[in-house]
Amino acid sequence: MLGMTLAGFHAQPMGACAARGWQLRCALAVLTVFLLMVSFVCSGERIKDIASVQGVRANQLVGYGLVVGLDGSGDQTTQTPFTVQGITSMLSQLGMNLPPGTNLQLKNVAGVMVTAELPAFAQPGQLMDVTVSSVGNAKSLRGGTLVLTPLKGADGQIYAMAQGNLGVGGAGASAGGSKTQVNHLSAGRIPNGATVERAVPTLLGQGDFVHLELRDTDFGTARKMTEAINKSFGDEGIAQAIDGRTVRVRAPANLDERVSFLGRLQDVSVETSLAAAKVIINARTGSVVMNQSVAIEACAVAHGNLTVTINSEPVISQPPPLSQGQTVVTQRTEIELKQEGNGFKALAGGTKLADVVRALNTLGATPQDLLAILEAMKSAGALKAEIEII
């Protein structure tokens, strides 16, 4: 297109200098677009996406509470005594003392566990989401209200208070012994359902340094991160790689300057190294996932299906008349063992993911069969990857 455009303009009656200047401007425009495309492709990942600041972390909170207002779908109190104890304790705190030996028959109350994540730097008065999950035999938490519940940390201190109406994403109905249900009815969420009551001190590094922790241990990425930080700030000694997961960075002592420094630091782009070759196998679902670093060497694989068929037929033995015998029923069983397979199949080696997938597809194996094949190829040294079973 550029050549055609230039040729068309050469045909116009313009001066040689003007035509040459126009060509130069077009060439510079094309070069600028190309450099922008290259810079976009090679931009890498931001530090905030691959690493976190040491000490800046969330904390898990948990508490036991009661959900009330259910439409007859609460806990069966004869099988969940903790629900009765919880409602009795709550009523006593509200100034209502039940007579000893009172047998409560509750249908609209359910005992639940309330969990939440306290973000870093959260201050008293801020709101956060909570998840409410049934711990008894309640049929549904739909339409319920969580009563004021303290949320505690690992140290036993109360850090938040939760209360509110549950949002349950499921629905269900039952009648005449039939039941239908969509999604899960025993858990729900309360957006902004907890109020922070106590702050957790968070230090932005100790002394003159902050430490960046990679989410995945990789010495190559740690080295490239160090080089990117030093280049971005124009100081060859501002960042140092401590090991394959930690990078130490010299930061300003003033808190305001340190926050600004960390904001700029987290936006630095890093060219990450290729991940180690790995194959993830989910033995429960039969899922197999491999990354782009997986490679195979030329090998031969024999794959076949083993089918076992068992037929059992009753055989009735009838005694002759007036023989005083008894009718006897026995079983006649036939077992058939069938092996199907096409012998050895040669797989060509490949270092690209597409080649690996194409080679494995030629086997015609199901995902469940592929699990055993990949493990055997790994043992034979033909699969150049780490296998992780989850």
Q: Looking at the domain assignment, is residue 202 inside a domain?
A: no
- Neighbouring CB atoms inside 10 A of 58's CB total 13
pLDDT given at position 39: 41
156 within some domain: yes
- Three-state SS for 112-153 is EEEEEEECCCCCCCCEEEEEEEECCCCCCCCCCEEEEEEEEC
Examine the pLDDT at 144 and tell me if it is beyond 60. Answer: yes
User: What are 37-95's pLDDT values in tens digits?
Assistant: 444 334 579 999 999 999 899 999 999 999 999 988 888 877 888 888 888 888 888 88
The least confident of 191-200, 264-273, 331-340, 347-356 is 331-340
Do the beta carbons of residue 311 and residue 334 sit within 8 Å? Answer: yes
- Mean pLDDT check: name the lowest of 6-20, 46-60, 128-142, 370-384: 6-20
> In degrees rounded to 5, what are phi and psi of residue 300?
-120, 135
Is residue 246, in this structure, part of any structural domain at all?
yes
User: Which residues constitute the domain of residue 118?
Assistant: 59-97+104-168+183-196
Concatenated DSSP letters for 84-117?
HHHHHHHHHHTT-PPPTT-----SS-EEEEEEEE
Using CB atoms within 10 A of its CB, is residue 296 exposed (0-12), middle (13-18) or buried (19+)? buried
Q: Does residue 13 form part of some domain?
A: no
> pLDDT (tens digit, 9 = 90+) per residue, 251-301?
998 888 999 999 999 999 998 888 888 888 887 777 888 888 888 888 887
Q: What is the pLDDT of residue 309?
A: 61
The count of domains in the chain is 3
> For residue 58, which of 116, 115, 120 has the smallest C-alpha distance?
120
Mean pLDDT of 117-131: 95
Residue type at 154? A
pLDDT of residue 155: 93
User: Is 19 part of any domain?
Assistant: no
Residues 361, 265 share a domain: no
8 Å CB contact between 90 and 109 = no
Residues 109 and 129 in one domain: yes
Q: Please report whether residue 141 resides in a domain.
A: yes
In a domain, 289, yes or no: yes
Whether residue 75 is found in the same domain as residue 191: yes
On whether both 228 and 302 belong to a single domain, the answer is no
Shared domain check, 215 and 305? no
Residue 254 and residue 311 in one domain? no
Residue 254 lies in a domain: yes
366 in the same domain as 349: yes
Is 163 in the same domain as 213?
no
* Residues 247 and 306 occupy one common structural domain: no
pLDDT band at 226 (very low <50, low <70, confident <90, very high): very high
Q: Are 260 and 294 contained in the same domain?
A: no
Which of the pair, 315 or 64, is modelled with greater confidence?
64
The Cα 25–Cα 27 span in angstroms is 5
How high is the pLDDT of residue 336?
Answer: 67
Same domain, residue pair 250 and 293: no
* Same-domain status, 91 and 153: yes
Kindly report the CA angle at 18 between 17 and 23, in degrees rounded to 5?
Answer: 95
**Per-residue model confidence (pLDDT) at position 115:** 97
pLDDT at 101: 75
